[in-house]
Amino acid sequence: MTVSYFLSPEWMIDGTGSPCRKNAAIGIQGETIVSIVDSTEIREKSQDDSFPRIVDLRGFTVLPCLVDSHVHLVMSGSNDPEVRERQLVSGYSEAGDRIQHHLQEHFRYGVLALRDGGDRHGYTLRYRDNLSGPSRSPYVSAVFAGKAWHREGRYGGLIGRVPLKSKGIAESVAREGDQSDVIKVVNSGLNSLREFGKQTLPQFGFQEFKDLWNMARRLEKKVMVHANGIEPVSIPVDAGCDSIEHGFFMGRENLEKMAEKGIFWVPTAVTMEAYSRLMKDDAKISDIARRNLDHQLEQIRIARECGVRTAMGTDAGSPGVDHGKAVIEEMKLFMDAGYSLEEAVMCATSAGADLLGFTEIGQLKPGMNAGFLVVPGPPSKLPDSLESIQMIWRNGKMVYEKCAVTPDPSGDQNHRMDE
Ligand SMILES: [Zn+2]
C-alpha cells in the first residue's frame, strides 16, 4: 500500500511490551499505519520530490494513545465531602458537563480510550446516547457500565442498583437489554482503612455468577467485577468473568488462576496512594492506606511473574484520583512493582485495548489506527513527559499540537529537545 507520509520519531514504544525502538519511521495512509521501517532507509530517498512527506520528530518519543480501563466520569478527584456529595446527587445537566470536562482531561493526558465503571443514575449512558458530533469529546472512545449491580444492603449504592426482586442478577441483566456496554458487578466491600487486610464476604454466589456469565456471553457483553479479598475474587474467577477490578488481598492462588484463564486484572493501586496522601493528618489511616498500597504492589509483582494480563486503570473519580493525570501515577506504581517502562506502557495501551474490545488501537503496527502520542525527550522522561504532550494523532490526523513549531532557518534540528 502506498504511504502518504511518514512520522519519524527518534524513539518509538510500540505498546506490545517490546523494548523501545530507535529511528523507526511509521508509514501512514489515510487513517491507518501501513508500514514501519528504519528511518535511515527513508531519509536517503527523501531527496526525491515524489517521495512522501516526512514529519521529523527527532528529539521526541512516540507511543500509542493511552487506555484507562477503570474510571468514574461523573465524579471528580475532589476530596471535599461537600463537593462529592453534590456530585452524587446532582442532576443530569450538571453531571453531563462534568463528564464532558473529565473526557477533556483524559484527552489532555493522552488517554483516548476508557471504560467507565459505573454511576448511580446511569448518566454516563445518557451522555453516550444524547451527545454526538463535536459537542461530545470526539477523540476519546469509551465503553460504559452504566449502573453497576450489587446485593441489597451491601456496598455499591454509590455506583449502582440491586437486581430485581425475585429475579436473579442474570435475569435482571437480560431484562435490561442492550443499554450498557459492559456489565459491572460489585462482589465485595471497600478496603478497610481502619483494619489492615480486613476481608468482606462475597455479594453473589458461584451459581449466580455462572448464570450471569452465560447470559453475558449470549448478550455479547463483557463482565467486570469489583472484588477485594480471596473469596470475593475466587468466585467470579471460577465461574467466569473478563476482569477483576481492584483485587486487593486476593492472594497468589487467584492470580495464578487468572493467568491460566486469561482473566484481566485492573489493580487501581493509585487509589491507595491517594488515600495515604489525603489522610496524612490521621497517621493510622494514612499508614493503613500505605500498607494496602505496598501489599498491592507486591501482588502486581506476582502478577507479572505468573503472567496475569494486567491493564492500567486508575479509578479516577475516587478521592484524590484525578481524571487523566492519574494514569501517570499508576504507571509509576507499576514500575515500582517491577514492570519496565515498555511493559507499563503495554498495560496502559494494548492490554487495555484488548480488555475494552478496541481492536484498532493500543499497538503501533501495520493495520492499526494511526493514533499516537508524541512526547518530548527520550523514553526515560516517561511517564512524566505525558504532562507535556507535544502532539496527539488520531485516525491519521494531528488533532492536538502544543504549540506551532517555528521553522528554524539553521536546518532540521528545530524539533530537537534536550536529552
Ligand atoms: Zn471504580
Segment 335-357, tens digit of pLDDT: 999 999 999 999 999 999 999 99
Distance (angstroms) between ligand 1 centre and the Cα of 117 equals 5
Give the number of other Cβ atoms within 10 Å of residue 164's Cβ. Answer: 13
As a whole number, the mean pLDDT across the chain is 92
Distance (angstroms) between ligand 1 centre and the Cα of 327 equals: 14
User: 261-272, pLDDT tens digit by residue?
Assistant: 999 999 999 999
Q: Cα(20) to centroid of ligand 1, in Å?
A: 32
Which of 37-46, 103-112, 407-416 has the least mean pLDDT?
407-416
Find the 191 Cα to ligand 1 centroid distance in Å: 12
Cα-to-centroid distance, 265 and ligand 1 (Å): 13
Tell me what percent of the residues of the chain surpass a pLDDT of 70.
94
Ligand 1 centroid–CA 257 distance in Å is 23
* Residue 410 in this model has a pLDDT that exceeds 70: no
How much is the average pLDDT of 145-163?
Answer: 93
Q: How far is the CA of 350 from the centre of ligand 1 (A)?
A: 21
Answer yes or no: are the C-beta atoms of 363 and 349 closer than 8 Å: yes
Cβ atoms 146, 180 nearer than 8 A: yes
Q: Residue 49's pLDDT is what?
A: 79
> Which pLDDT score, from 0 to 100, does residue 404 have?
58
Position 2 scores a pLDDT of 86
Cell of 311: 491493564
pLDDT recorded at residue 247 = 98
Task: Please report the pLDDT score of residue 130 as a whole number.
Answer: 81
For residue 246, the CA-to-ligand 1 centroid distance in Å is: 8
> 236 C-alpha vs ligand 1 centroid, how far in Å?
17
Q: Is 173 helix (H, G, I), strand (E, B) or coil?
A: helix
* 320 CA distance to ligand 1 middle (Å): 13
Ligand 1 center–CA 326 separation, angstroms: 13
CA of 158 to the centre of ligand 1 (A): 10
Which grid cell is 83? 463537593
Give residue 118 CA to ligand 1 midpoint distance, Å: 7
Tell me, which fold does domain 66-356 have in CATH? Answer: TIM Barrel (3.20.20)
Nearest to 195 by CA among 292, 269, 268: 292
> What is the distance, to the nearest Å, from the Cα of residue 263 to the centroid of all Cα atoms in its chain?
16
Q: Please tell me the distance between residue 139's alpha carbon and the centre of ligand 1 in angstroms.
A: 23
Mean pLDDT to the nearest integer, 127-148? 80
Percent of the chain with pLDDT over 90: 85
10 Å CB burial of residue 126 (0-12, 13-18, 19+) is middle
| pTM, rounded to two decimals | 0.94
Flag whether pLDDT at 406 surpasses 60. no
What distance in angstroms lies between residue 43's CA and the mean position of ligand 1's atoms? 47
Span 78-134, pLDDT tens digits: 999 999 999 999 999 999 999 999 999 999 999 999 999 999 999 999 998 886 554
What separation in Å is there between the alpha carbon of 209 and the centre of ligand 1?
A: 19
Q: From the CA of 361, how far away is ligand 1's center (Å)?
A: 23
Q: What is the Å distance from ligand 1's center to 270 Cα?
A: 12
- How many angstroms is it from 214 CA to the middle of ligand 1? 24
User: 120 near 158, Cβ under 8 Å?
Assistant: yes
Task: Give me the helix-helix angle, 326-336 and 270-278, nearest 10°.
Answer: 110
Distance (Å) from CA 371 to ligand 1 centroid: 27
Say which CATH superfamily domain 5-64+363-401 falls into.
Urease, subunit C, domain 1 (2.30.40.10)
CB 62 within 8 A of CB 11: yes
Tell me, in angstroms, the distance from the centre of ligand 1 to residue 7's CA: 37
Cα of 315 vs centre of ligand 1, distance in Å, is 5
Per-residue pLDDT tens for 360-385?
999 999 999 999 999 999 999 999 99
pLDDT tens across 173-186, in order? Answer: 999 877 899 999 99
Q: Distance between CA 305 and CA 259 in Å, rounded?
A: 10
Query: How many angstroms separate the alpha carbon of residue 148 from the centre of ligand 1?
Result: 10
Instruction: Please tell me the distance between residue 335's alpha carbon and the centre of ligand 1 in angstroms.
Output: 22
Q: How many Å lie between the centroid of ligand 1 and the Cα of residue 74?
A: 11
Which sequence spans correspond to the domains of the chain? Answer: 5-64+363-401, 66-356
H or E segment to which residue 116 belongs: strand 111-116
CB atoms within 10 A of CB 402: 12
CA 126 to centroid of ligand 1, rounded, Å: 19
Task: Mark residue 221 as left, alpha or beta (left: phi above 0; alpha: psi -120 to 50; beta: remaining).
Answer: beta
Indicate if the alpha-carbon torsion angle 339, 273, 124, 325 is positive or negative.
negative
| pLDDT band for position 278 (cuts 50, 70, 90) | very high
Q: How far apart are CA 362 and CA 357, in angstroms?
A: 11
- Confirm if 211 and 168 have CB atoms less than 8 A apart: yes
Task: Give the separation between CA 320 and CA 328, rounded to whole angstroms.
Answer: 14
CA 163 to ligand 1 centroid distance, Å: 19
pLDDT range class, residue 408, cuts 50, 70, 90:
very low
How far is ligand 1, taken at its centre, from the CA of residue 79, in Å? 15
Inform me whether the pLDDT recorded for 191 exceeds 80: yes
Residue 63 β-bridge partners: 373
The pLDDT, as a whole number, for residue 129 is 87
Residue 419 has pLDDT above 80, yes or no: no
DSSP secondary structure letter of residue 385: G
> From ligand 1's centre to the CA of 127, what distance in Å?
18
CA distance 16 to 362: 8
Task: Quickly list H helices, 5-140.
Answer: 39-45, 81-89, 92-108, 123-130
CB 316 within 8 A of CB 102: yes
